[in-house]
């Protein structure tokens, strides 16, 4: 099993930390993992993206241009990464702020209203965990107990009291993910 994922959105949405939690959890479950961020001008405002690979085998290239799953959280990233999903792959996006929806028919498209839900909960910081929940519903690669270990490892000790809230958000994300259309 090898799962190659791109997570892309605005800086500040928690794109990089979501990738880190996913990678850490994978590692705790004894998988091979890699996490390769955009660290360029993007990080200083604008778009941010991260490539995460979770695999049972040694990972060859951490740098990729085709992905099994794309998690897309803004319009710029939709424009940039829709084409990079492998045929038969998965695209998950939050329709909030998206004006041009995905058009490809050879991939499976899902939506998650994570921004709306985070606003409703009054917890903007769990936005990325809602999205992560959507991903885990579709690709149950990581067991919940290892997700917890991943959260413990990636969050600084002073934020460990927030772990239950994050776990709840992941569960909520699993419920919220909706099928847009399946590949033809």
Euclidean distance between CA atoms 169 and 159, whole angstroms: 15
138 lies in the site for other proteins, by CB under 8 A: no
**Cβ 32 to other proteins shortest distance, Å:** 7
Residue 142 touches other proteins, criterion: CB under 8 A: no
Among 12, 45, 46, 60, indicate the residue that binds other proteins (CB under 8 A): 60
**Both structure tokens of 73:** 């959280």
Stretch that binds other proteins, among 58-66, 73-81, 98-106, 135-143 (CB under 8 A): 58-66
CB of 53 to other proteins, least distance (A): 10
Element (H, E) at 55: strand 47-55
According to the binding rule CB under 8 A, does residue 39 interact with other proteins?
yes
| Whether 34 contacts 59, CB under 8 Å | yes
Binding-residue pattern over the window 94 to 123 for other proteins, x denoting contact by CB under 8 A: ------------------------------
Nearer to other proteins by Cβ, of 102 and 150: the residue is 150
The secondary structure element, H or E, covering residue 39 is none
d(CA 34, CA 55): 9
End-to-end CA gap in the chain:
24
- Give the interface segment with other proteins, choosing from 21-29, 72-80, 123-131, 173-181 (CB under 8 A): 21-29
Residue 67 interacting with other proteins (CB under 8 A)? no
Identify the sign of the CA torsion 38, 63, 8, 133.
Answer: negative
Return the number of other C-beta atoms located less than 10 Å from residue 101's C-beta.
12
Binding site for other proteins (CB under 8 A): 20, 23-24, 27, 32-37, 39-41, 59-66, 153
């Amino acid at each position: 099993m090898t799962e190659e994922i791109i997570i892309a959105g605005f800086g500040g949405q928690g794109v990089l930390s979501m990738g880190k939690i996913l990678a850490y959890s994978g590692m705790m479950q004894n998988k091979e993992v890699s996490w390769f961020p955009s660290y360029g001008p993007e990080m200083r405002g604008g778009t941010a993206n991260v490539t995460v690979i979770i695999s049972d085998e040694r990972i060859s290239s951490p740098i990729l241009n085709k992905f099994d799953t794309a998690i897309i959280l803004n319009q710029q990233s939709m424009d940039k990464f829709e084409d990079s999903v492998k045929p038969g792959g998965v695209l998950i996006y939050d329709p909030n702020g998206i004006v041009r929806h995905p058009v490809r028919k050879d991939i499976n498209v899902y939506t998650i209203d994570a921004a709306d839900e985070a606003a409703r909960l009054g917890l903007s910081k769990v936005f990325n965990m809602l999205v992560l929940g959507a991903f885990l519903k579709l690709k149950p690669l990581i067991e919940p107990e290892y997700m917890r270990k991943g959260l413990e490892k990636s969050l600084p000790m002073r934020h460990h009291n927030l772990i239950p809230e994050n776990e709840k958000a992941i569960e909520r994300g699993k419920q919220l993910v909706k099928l847009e259309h399946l590949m033809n």
